[in-house]
Amino acid sequence: MKLRLRLALTAVAVTVPAVFALVQVEHSVRRRTTDEVIIASTLSQMQSGGRERCESAPETWMVRSRSPQRPPWEREGPPDGNGGPPSGTVAPNEPSGNGPASGGPRPGDEGPPRPGARGPLGRRLPPVSLYPFDGQFVSRNPQAPALDDELRKGVQDDGVGVRRYSKADGALVQDLLLRMSWDGGPCEYVLARRVEPAESPEVGLPPLYVWGVPTLILLSAMVVALGPVVQRLRRLTDEVRASSGSRYEQPVTVNGTDEIAELARAFQQARAEIQAQMAHQQAREQTLRDFLANTTHDVMTPLTVLQGHLAAMQQRMRAGEPLESGLMLSAMSEAHYMASLVHNLGAAARLEAGAPQVQHAPVDLNALVSRVLGRHQPIARPQRIALESGVPATQTWVMGDETLLEQAVSNVVLNGIRYGREDGHVAVVLETTRQQTFHLRVIDDGPGISEEERSRILERRFRGNSARTREPQGQGLGLNIVHNVVELHGWKMTLAPSEYGGLEVAFTGPLMSPPG
């Protein structure tokens, strides 16, 4: 539903009951005022000679005031007394205004009517008829209507019995039974009856101008006030649409201090957040693409070499020539390298995904060294590279991610083998100190790495870089992973020339007590 329509409907829904309640209040005030006027005028009439006339002929006494042109309380002068033969019209005085009149006469009632005193809404008062009743609520006048219990009870309790009811034709009948200030006699009680015809304004709604005008004013004020709000909202909607259409590059420009401006600011914040997320996502995707491209390249190269070797072997077999061991060895080496690349791929993916992917658990470094050596022995031996290891007699426990640690040590060992010289050596030495630290060294007697290259490897924070080569001095994905893993474990890694002329890669970190 549109905002304007909703607000208009809400206004109507609130106004209608409010008008209804106001009309009810107005009706009740008017009735009470009418009661008071009738009571006061009746009492004053009875005291100014009415009693004598009534008591002298109770069988026929009855007063019917003619419908006055104006309500009696609007007249300036005394009422014109042209009633029935025994008396004139009801000559009401100004109402006392002190709540329901008591039975007795009051001095104030005798005073002259105050100018400007008006009945409710200044309307005419319909005719009032008076009937006498004695102490037994019996009237000697046969024309008097019967009294019901409500009136009797009312007059006994409060001095005035009041009853209202509607006739079948819609006319409103108002009965007031009053006790006079004297006791006994046929006119001890007087019933004042007033009949309001159905078409009287008192019965229906008040006139349209009473409630229609304020309602109209309220509605138009609402529509006027709402105009700019709706306009601002529309502008904001358009700008948000345009922004989302431009991949959130277009800003939202709705300003101000109201709630709509606040909404615009909230959207601006959301937009900034979305843009940051998108940039992050794009960076990640780019990294992944680069990584995939590099890895594909890295795997494709040894795979091509391997295919070449296998094809050469097949040719030799067809020609009946003996297989060359160097060819075979090279093929094996390429397959081995590919396996290590794929393992590195997994490790790099986990490192890239961040710390939650890293599982810390007790790791036995002795077993780890043994596994790493076992994996590379089959490729080191045929290349005539001696692969040796020395570990403590008892297990060496550290806290870490077994897969990543194994991959890191594996990478260093494989580098030593791949770039080692023939009849060379690679050794893994694991030692513990009394300060509860371990010292794991991988040493070789290969060509080593220059001072400049070593410091670059240690200083630089590698991320999937494209400067990877298979050369000994290259900073392949292998060392990149080693560096990250060591950093992730809070260990220390040093690169130094080994005492045998090659490279020494050393890891140092804390030991843990053996797991229970």
Partner 1 sequence: MGDRILLVEDDDQLGSQIVGHLRGAGFDPVWWREGRLLVSGDLPDVSLVVLDLMLPGTYGLDMLKALRTFSEVPVLILSARNDTLDKVRALRLGADDYMTKPFWPEELVERVRARLRRPTLQKEQAVVEVGPLRIDLQGHTVQVQGRPVELTRVEFELLAALARRPQEAVTRQWLVEHVLDPEREGTERTLDVHVSRLRRKLGPVKCVETVWGVGYRLVPGEDA
Footprint of partner 1 on this chain (CB under 8 A)? 335-336, 339, 343, 346, 358-359, 361, 367, 370-371, 374-375, 377-379, 386, 388-390, 392-393, 401-404, 425-427, 429, 431, 443, 445, 498, 500
Closer residue to partner 1 (CB): 254 or 404: 404
Distances, alpha carbon 97 to alpha carbons 121, 124, 184, in Å: 16, 19, 29
How far apart CA 124 and CA 118 sit, in angstroms, is 10
How far apart CA 419 and CA 472 sit, in angstroms, is 6
Closer residue to partner 1 (CB): 233 or 367: 367
340 contacts 411 by C-beta, under 8 angstroms: yes
Beta-strand pair 128-133/160-166: unpaired
Q: Coil, strand or helix: which one is 59?
A: coil
* Nearest alpha-carbon partner for 346 in 356, 357, 335, 337: 357
Residue 317 C-beta: closest distance to partner 1, Å: 20
How far apart CA 163 and CA 175 sit, in angstroms, is 5
Closer residue to partner 1 (CB): 380 or 479: 380
Amino acid at residue number 4: R
Helix, strand, coil shares of the chain, percent, nearest 5, are 50, 15, 35
Distances, alpha carbon 364 to alpha carbons 370, 396, 397, 443, 515, in Å: 10, 5, 5, 21, 10
Closer residue to partner 1 (CB): 301 or 395: 395
* Nearest alpha-carbon partner for 423 in 387, 449, 390: 387
CA 370 distance to own-chain centroid: 59
Q: Coil, strand or helix: which one is 364?
A: strand
Q: What does the angle CA 92 – CA 160 – CA 20 come to, to the nearest 5 degrees?
A: 80
- Extract long-range pairs of 355-359: CB within 8 Å, 24+ residues apart: 355/488, 358/401, 358/404, 358/488, 359/401, 359/402, 359/403
Closer residue to partner 1 (CB): 300 or 349: 349
Residue 496 C-beta: closest distance to partner 1, Å: 14
Closer residue to partner 1 (CB): 379 or 495: 379
Residue 362 C-beta: closest distance to partner 1, Å: 8
How far apart CA 379 and CA 387 sit, in angstroms, is 10
Closer residue to partner 1 (CB): 249 or 423: 423
Residue 363 belongs to what H/E stretch? strand 361-364
Closer residue to partner 1 (CB): 51 or 343: 343
Closer residue to partner 1 (CB): 92 or 509: 509
413 contacts 447 by C-beta, under 8 angstroms: no
Closer residue to partner 1 (CB): 83 or 502: 502
Q: Is 414 exposed, middle or buried (0-12, 13-18, 19+ CB in 10 A)?
A: buried
Residue 448 C-beta: closest distance to partner 1, Å: 14
Closer residue to partner 1 (CB): 160 or 380: 380
Closer residue to partner 1 (CB): 390 or 514: 390
* Nearest alpha-carbon partner for 330 in 413, 407, 411, 418: 418
196 contacts 172 by C-beta, under 8 angstroms: yes
Residue 359 C-beta: closest distance to partner 1, Å: 4
Q: Coil, strand or helix: which one is 428?
A: strand
Q: Is 503 exposed, middle or buried (0-12, 13-18, 19+ CB in 10 A)?
A: buried
